[in-house]
A and B are shown apart, each in its own frame.
Chain A
Amino acid sequence: MSVLVIAEHNNQHLNPATLHAVQAAVQLGEVHLLVAGNGVAAVADEAKQIAGVVRVCVAEAPHYAEGLAEELTPLVVKLAADYRYVAATATAFGKNLMPRVAAVLDIPQISDLTEIVDKQTFVRPIYAGNAFEMVQTPSEKLVLTFRATAFEAAAVAGGNAEVVNVDALEAQNISHFVKRELTQSDRPDLTQANVVVTGGRALASAENFKQILTPLADVLGAAIGASRSAVEAEYAPNDLQVGQTGKVVAPQLYIAIGVSGAIQHVAGIQDSKVIVAINKDTDAPIFNVADYGIVGDLFEIVPKLTKALRN
C-alpha cells in the first residue's frame, strides 16, 4: 500500500483538482482515493473510473458532508496507518485539511510541491516562487500537497478501481458549517482554464473591469482573473485573485491587462505558456516576464483586440 489521496468533491461531483494529485501520486506508488462525504455514490462512481486509481474508499456520514478538517482528520489519520503517503491537491480544501492530519500523525508535510525527484526528495517553491527548494526527508511517512498546475490531470476514464466502504467515525462537533456562497460563473474554472484574462488596478472601476474584460474573455473562452489591487479596490471578487496568495494558474495563454506585475502576482502566473501584457507603463515589471507586450492605453487596445479576435 502506498498513497492515500483525499478526494475533493461537493457530494455530487469530484473536483477536477483531485485529478492532478492522482496523476502526481501514481509516481509514488499504488493510489487509493478516499471519498468522504454524505450521499456520495455518484462521486465514488466518477472516482473508480479515474485512470491510475486502484481502490476507492468511501466513508459516509452527515458530518463529512462539508469537508470540515476537524471531522475528516480522525478518519484520514485512522486510514493513514496503512499508507506511506497521504496526499491531496494544494487547493483551499487540501491546504486546510492536510497539515492537521500531519500534526496528529506527527509526520512532516511538504506543501505545494512541483516536482517529485524520488520517493523521499521533492521540489517546492519558496519566497513567492522566486526560488525553489529541493528537500529530502528520512521520514518513512509523509503528508504531501501537490501544486495542480505542476502535474497533468489523470484521465477521467479507463480506470476500474474496486470500491470499498469504510466505517465513519463519531462526529467531533467542535466546529459547524453554516453556509457557503460561491461566485456564480459560466466561465471555465480559473485554475483549469486554457486562457486567462486578468485585470489590474488600471481598469479603474468595477464597471470597466466587467465591460472591458468580459467581451475579450468571451471571444477567447477564457477565465477572468484579477490582481490583488483590483480585488482590494473591489473591482472583482476575491476568489478571482491570481498570485502568491490567490490562485496559481498555468494556462496556454495569459493576458495581463493593466497589471503592473508585482512579485506576488508573477508568482502565480510564471508557468503560463505564453504571457501577454497590455500596459501603458513601458517600465512595468510585467514586461520582464511577458512574451508579447503592448505599451498603450488598455481602454483602446483591449476593445481592438476583442474585435480582431472576433473576426
Chain B
Amino acid sequence: MKALVAVKRVVDYNVKVRVKADSSDVDIGNVKMSMNPFDEIAVEEAVRLKEAGKISEIVAVSIGEKKCEDTLRTALAMGADRAIHIETDTKLEPLAVAKLLKAVADKENPQILLLGKQAIDDDANQTAQMLAALLNAPQATFASKVELGNDKVVVTREIDGGEEVVVLTLPAVISADLRLNEPRFVKLPNIMAAKKKPLEKVALADLNVDTATRVNVMKVLEPKARQAGVKVANVAELVEKLKNEAKVI
C-alpha cells in the first residue's frame, strides 16, 4: 500500500514574524524556514506505518519555490522513499494546492494521503479537506490516532469537548493533529542517505491545473497591540485592581 504525504516549507514556528513597513506582507526575507510542524507529524505517521509493515512506499510532495527541495530532503531523511517537487514561485491558495495534489494522487494512486491539519503561516486549515473532496474520498481531520487495516482505517479525531472515532474506506485523507505522534530527530547518516533518494521535479504547467489567484491580499496588518501592563506586588493589590480598576470581578 502506498502513502502520499504533503509537506510545506514555512517560517520556523519559533520565529515571531514582523509586518513590513509598507503593509504589503510579513517580512520573511532572512528568517529561518522549516517543515510545517503538522506536516512533520504526518511524515512521522507514514514512516511508523511503514515500519509496522502496513504500507510499502511513502511518496512526499511539496509545492513551491526551489528551496522546498530542502523540506523534501528532510522528509526523505525521516524515512520517505521518494519525493516529488512541483516548482513554482507563485504563492498558491489551498484550493489550488489541493488540485495539484489531486493531480499527483491520480497518477500515484496512494491508498492513504497524510497532511498536516494546518500550515502555521496561512493558518487556513483547508487543504486536506479540499483534497478529500476533489478525490471524493473520506476524510479524518485533526487525527490523534490512526489504525490502518487492509481496506479501512480507524481514526481518532480531536473535536471540541473531547474526541471521536470514525472508520473510513480507503483510499482516505487524514490530517494530523499535534497529539498524533512525536516526530523523530533526523540523524546525520539518514540525511546523507536522503541525498541519494529520488526527487522528481514536475513543472506546474505540465499538470494542467487552474491555479489562478482568486483571493487577493490587499494588505497585511499588525495585530492590535495590547497596552503594556503593570506588575503588582501582592494578591491584595491584584484583587483591588481587578475589582476597582479593571472591574472584571
Contact = CB atoms under 8 A, between A and B. Distances in A.
A is bound by B: yes
Contacts of B162: 180-183, 237, 239
A126 B123 contact: yes
Looking at chain A's contact residues, is the secondary structure mostly helix, strand, loop, or mixed?
mixed
A104 B132 CA distance: 10
Interface in A209-246: 220, 228, 231, 237-239, 244-245
Interface residues of B, number: 82
A224 to B, nearest CB: 13
Interface in B115-143: 117-118, 120-134, 136-142
Contacts of A237: 162
A93 B160 contact: yes
A100 B118 CA distance: 14
Contacts of A138: 214
A271 to B, nearest CB: 9
A68 to B, nearest CB: 7
Given A108-B95, A139-B214, A181-B164, A175 B139 contact: yes
Interface stretch (B60-68, B184-192, B195-203, B216-224): B216-224
B214 A293 contact: no
Interface string A265-279: 000001001111000
Interface stretch (B12-20, B48-56, B80-88, B105-113): B12-20
A165 interface: no
Interface stretch (A23-31, A38-46, A109-117): A109-117
A253 B130 CA distance: 37
Contacts, number: 252
B123 A291 contact: no
Interface in A96-146: 96-104, 106-112, 121, 123-139
A294 B121 contact: no
Given A68-B166, A69-B139, A137-B216, A264 B13 contact: yes
A183 B161 contact: yes
A70 interface: yes
A295 interface: yes
A100 B222 CA distance: 31
Nearest to B169: A174
Contact of A99 (B94, B165, B232): B94
B139 A70 contact: yes
Nearest to A289: B226
Contacts of B158: 92, 238-239
A137 B217 contact: no
B161 to A, nearest CB: 5
B249 A100 contact: no
B227 interface: yes
Interface of A: 17, 66, 68-70, 73, 91-93, 95-104, 106-112, 121, 123-139, 173-183, 189, 191, 195, 220, 228, 231, 237-239, 244-245, 247, 252-253, 263-264, 270, 273-276, 287-295, 301, 304-305, 308-309
